[in-house]
Amino acid sequence: MSHDPYAIRPGERAVTLPDRVDAHLVFIGRIHTPFTMRAECPRQGRQDGPLCRIEIDAPWREGLKGLEGFAQAEVLYWMHQARRDLVLQSPKHNGETMGTFALRSPVRPNPISTSRVAIVAIGEGWVDVRGLDCLDGTPLIDLKPEHCAFSPPRN
């Protein structure tokens, strides 16, 4: 049975993306997960989910110094297979039409996903975590201590 993941569902609306580049990203590594097809990805990661490895590219590896002091991290990654032009979406699981900003779908003008993960182990240029939901090979954008865990000094 063929299935086009890019097909527009009833109620969905596509808009014309501005012909403009406002900022650029540099991928800083890759994420390795057991999910090799979109249909296998959970709708949201769980901290009792499978072990995943975040690999940091060589120039940025020193940036991990001190991360071992945190139990949880926030991971930002690029949903490279997602379309960017839907402003209304009808998720498959219920068919209800919602605005893109009322969903955590990968389909959005800037297809960046964020996950809160449990840090399991850290090595030279890698971090093993649980809580991701993305395809194997997903480009990494950022990694930082999770809000809750990070207690800034009083301002």
One-letter identity of residue 131: G
**97 in contact with a second copy (CB under 8 A):** yes
String of b and e for 124-139 (b: at least 16 CB within 10 Å)? Answer: ebbbbbbbbbbbbebb
Residue with tokens 């097809």: 37
What's the Rg (C-alpha) of the chain?
Answer: 17
Among 2-10, 30-38, 97-105, the segment contacting a second copy (CB under 8 A):
97-105
Which of 9, 27, 50, 95 touches a second copy by CB under 8 A?
A: 27
Count residues contacting a second copy (CB under 8 A)? 64
Q: How far apart are CA 5 and CA 2, in angstroms?
A: 10
Interacting residue ranges for a second copy, rule: CB under 8 A: 13, 15-18, 20-28, 42-44, 56, 59-60, 62-67, 69-70, 73-74, 76, 78, 80, 84, 87-88, 93-94, 97-104, 108-110, 112, 114-116, 139, 141-145, 147, 150, 152-153, 155
